[in-house]
Amino acid sequence: MTNYRFEISYDGTRYYGWERQPGKDTIQGKLEAVLSRMTDTEAEIIGAGRTDAGVHARAMIANAHLETALSPEEILAYMNRYLPDDISVNRVGIVSDRFHARYNAAGKLYTYTCYAGASKPVFNRKYVTVLDSVPDIAAMRKAAAHLVGEHDFKAFCSNPKMKKSTVRTVDTIEIIKRKDFIYFDFHGDGFLQNMVRIITGTLLEVGFGRMEPNQVREILEKKDRRLAGPTAPPQGLCLMKVDY
């Protein structure tokens, strides 16, 4: 068995997230179906993370142990031939048996994109969250500063039964406005379930004046999900890069 590393892009619009689920279309499910057909075995692929339903990825990293005579280039060609048009395998390579896409990941970059223009974002509508007006960028940056560093992000996790540690390190949060688009870039060592979307929803509450920037520090300290803002819609979120 050889361990293969994959770089994958996908439009998550019509999928129920990365993780395979019985009777539902998922990214992992589609990939495993093609790999199983290719190898005539029951293939399993491991992703660097589990993106939620409706969330996209430009460079998801995954690995799979496969028994095949095909070269990495032939595997790439085969997968792209049989995968649907909204999933692309960009690179395939051979890695050591010990490489694990999830456990070896050292960091991830997510971008959440909002649109606040007067017209409709016709050609970007599946990849942005449309806002009614332009939020206060300076206020959101001030609020985001409280979240940078190592913290217990329990208040920004949608899983109330989380048994593992909810402590994570967020290295940077950058909020950039370019014309009618607002980009929230999050880089950290890992993110909890819905964490990026809840943080984005909270920052937008600050941007629209419904919450003060300093309240974000209180939310962190009280570790109560009910105090944070709403979970931002999934379509604006994209996994951009995984670090190793």
Give 175-209 pLDDT, tens digit per residue: 999 999 999 999 999 999 999 999 999 999 999 99
Q: How is domain 2-95 classified at the CATH fold level?
A: Alpha-Beta Plaits (3.30.70)
Residue 52 annotated among the catalytic residues of the structure: yes
- CATH of 107-243, picked from 3.30.70.660, 3.10.290.10, 3.40.50.2300, 3.40.50.10300, is 3.30.70.660
pLDDT of residue 44: 97
Q: Do domains 2-95 and 107-243 have the same CATH topology?
A: yes
pLDDT of residue 161: 81
Does residue 162 have a pLDDT over 90? no
pLDDT single digits (tens) 74-86: 999 999 999 999 9
Return phi, psi of residue 70, to 5°: -70, 145
Give the burial class of 172: count Cβ atoms within 10 A of its Cβ; 0-12 exposed, 13-18 middle, 19 or more buried.
Answer: exposed
Residue spans of the domains in the chain: they are 2-95, 107-243
From the list 11, 52, 97, 152, the catalytic residue is 52
